[in-house]
């Protein structure tokens, strides 16, 4: 169990204790802020304006970057007022490109999307993580493809289209891109170029708010689907966009193989709960008891009271906020399920307090 000459620690524990990685990171960071042995960081080498409220950032990652598949997203961490905040963004570039590219549209009240659009300059360093996500092409390419994009939901689809091009796709693909007005079309020139060079792709821009001549207007409906993709039977569908469109699409396309990626703003997944009174949350590591309402996520409610547990995506993906619940029940906000009363690990960014809680925080 113990190895000589270490009586209480394994040699490995001792090595960890010496923090070799932290030291290396520190001095590498002093040399060049992009260098690190623990964190994937990227330098912003170009910024392109897509629309009035969306920008594309071209990123040069460091040696820890492991690559990605078209359609995947990365966590992007920025520091805002001294605080690290993480959000996920789809990569809009193609895996074979020399540099990475994310396209970020400003969201109303979105902390990070606004920060990136307003404050990020060429030469800045962004902390990114590993790419992940299931919104990718299957190994065997389907004969027919339908892409439904809404707003900034075009970014992963753009990457997938580029991938299809690289793979010499020989089937048939249709892209229906729902967007508020012509001026809101993101990555338009690039999409048009792909369409021009490839027989298999047809693109339709559908304006939902500001109609314009030469463009169809409206929202996603059965009629629009029938109009552009009459032969839906054997089509594989990729949907990416805001949640109302998502829900609509899923109901219209029942029975078809649909892959969807939902873009959520933090806090959007909360069912509107109103509660009376408060419940006690006992934080067992800091020996504090605080009262929360149990209306929003535990993370939100703790932060409101000046307690900042570790967190990342705030939407249940990254597991940074996982913490052991020793007692009490919570509701999982992503599916509305109520948990057991006993000990278990919970993600406090997507859990709402249901009863008095005891958390290892």
Report the partner that residue 52 touches, choosing among ligand FES, other proteins, none (CB closer than 5 to 8 A by kind).
none
Q: What minimum distance in Å lies between the beta carbon of 269 and other proteins?
A: 21
By CB under 8 A, tell whether 305 contacts other proteins. Answer: no
Comparing CB distances to other proteins, the nearer of 309 and 328 is 309
**10 belongs to the binding site for other proteins (CB under 8 A):** no
Minimum CB separation of residue 315 from ligand FES in Å reads 7
Instruction: Work out which of 12, 48, 49, 84 binds other proteins, going by CB under 8 A.
Output: 84
Please tell me the distance from the alpha carbon of residue 152 to that of residue 76, in angstroms, as a whole number.
Answer: 16
Q: What are phi and psi of 236, to 5 degrees?
A: -90, 135
**Which of 191-199, 262-270, 308-316, 330-338 is the region at the interface with other proteins (rule: CB under 8 A)?**
308-316
Question: Which partner, ligand FES, other proteins, none, binds residue 347 by CB below 5 to 8 Å per kind?
Answer: ligand FES
Q: Indicate which single residue of 18, 121, 138, 139 sits in contact with other proteins (rule: CB under 8 A).
A: 18
Contact characters 279-298, other proteins, x per CB under 8 A: ------xxx-----------
Q: Which does 83 bind (CB under 5 to 8 A by kind): other proteins, ligand FES, none?
A: other proteins
Q: Are the C-beta atoms of 350 and 334 separated by less than 8 Å?
A: yes
DSSP 8-state assignment for residue 132: B
Report whether 228 contacts 244 (CB < 8 A).
Answer: no
Q: How many residues would you count in the chain? A: 361
Shortest Å, Cβ 361 to ligand FES: 13
Q: Put the strands of the sheet holding 330-332 in their side by side order.
A: 337-338, 330-332, 351-353
Provide the minimum distance between the beta carbon of 107 and ligand FES in the complex, in angstroms, as a whole number: 18
307 lies in the binding site for other proteins (CB under 8 A): yes
What is the rounded distance in angstroms from the CA atom of residue 339 to the CA atom of residue 275? 18
Please say which residue, 129 or 156, places its beta carbon nearer to ligand FES.
Answer: 129
CB of 72 to ligand FES, least distance (A): 17
109 neighbors 138 (Cβ within 8 angstroms): no
Rounded Cα distance, 19 and 17, in Å: 5
Task: Give the position of tokens 């027919």.
Answer: 144
Q: Is 310 in the site for other proteins (CB under 8 A)?
A: yes
| Binding residues for ligand FES (CB under 6 A) | 311-314, 316-321, 347, 349
The answer to whether 340 contacts other proteins (rule: CB under 8 A) is no
Specify burial of residue 139 (Cβ count, 10 A radius: 0-12, 13-18, 19+).
exposed
Which string of b and e fits 16-43 if b means at least 16 CB within 10 Å?
eeeeeeeeebeebbeeeebbbeebbbbb
| Coil, strand or helix at 146 | strand
Work out what residue 285 binds among other proteins, ligand FES, none; the CB cut-off runs from 5 to 8 Å by kind: other proteins
For residues 62 and 74, is the Cβ–Cβ distance under 8 A? no
- First-last CA distance in the chain: 30
- Positions that interact with other proteins (CB under 8 A): 6-9, 13-14, 17-18, 22-23, 26-27, 79, 81-85, 285-287, 306-311, 361
């Amino acid at each position: 169990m113990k190895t000589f000459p270490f009586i209480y620690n394994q040699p490995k524990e001792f090595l960890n204790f010496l923090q070799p990685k932290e030291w290396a990171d520190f001095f590498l960071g002093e040399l060049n802020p992009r260098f690190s042995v623990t964190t994937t960081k990227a330098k912003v080498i170009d910024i392109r304006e897509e629309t009035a409220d969306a920008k594309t950032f071209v990123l040069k990652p460091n040696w820890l970057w492991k690559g990605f598949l078209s359609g995947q997203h990365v966590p992007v961490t920025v520091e805002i007022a001294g605080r690290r905040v993480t959000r996920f963004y789809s990569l809009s570039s193609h895996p074979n490109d020399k540099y990475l590219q994310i396209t970020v549209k400003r969201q109303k009240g979105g902390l990070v999307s606004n920060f990136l659009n307003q404050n990020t300059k060429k030469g800045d360093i962004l902390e990114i993580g590993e790419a992940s996500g299931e919104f990718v092409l299957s190994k065997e390419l389907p004969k027919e493809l339908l892409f439904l994009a809404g707003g900034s939901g075009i970014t992963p689809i753009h990457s997938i289209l580029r991938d299809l091009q690289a793979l010499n796709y020989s089937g048939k693909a249709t892209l229906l891109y729902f967007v508020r007005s012509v001026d809101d079309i993101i990555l338009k020139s690039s999409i048009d170029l792909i369409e021009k060079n490839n027989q298999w792709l047809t693109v339709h821009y559908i304006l939902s708010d500001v109609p314009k001549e030469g463009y169809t207007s409206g929202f996603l409906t059965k009629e629009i689907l029938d109009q552009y993709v009459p032969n839906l039977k054997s089509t594989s569908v990729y949907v990416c966009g805001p949640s109302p469109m998502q829900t609509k699409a899923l109901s219209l396309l029942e029975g078809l193989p649909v892959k969807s990626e939902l873009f959520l703003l933090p806090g959007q997944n909360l069912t509107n709960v109103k509660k009376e009174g408060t419940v006690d949350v006992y934080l067992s590591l800091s020996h504090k008891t605080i009262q929360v309402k149990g209306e929003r996520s535990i993370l939100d409610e703790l932060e409101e009271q000046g307690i900042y547990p570790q967190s990342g995506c705030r939407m249940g993906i990254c597991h940074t906020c996982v913490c052991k619940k020793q007692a009490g029940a919570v509701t999982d906000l992503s599916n509305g399920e109520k948990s057991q009363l006993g000990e278990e690990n919970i993600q406090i960014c997507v859990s709402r307090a249901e009863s008095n809680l005891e958390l290892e925080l």
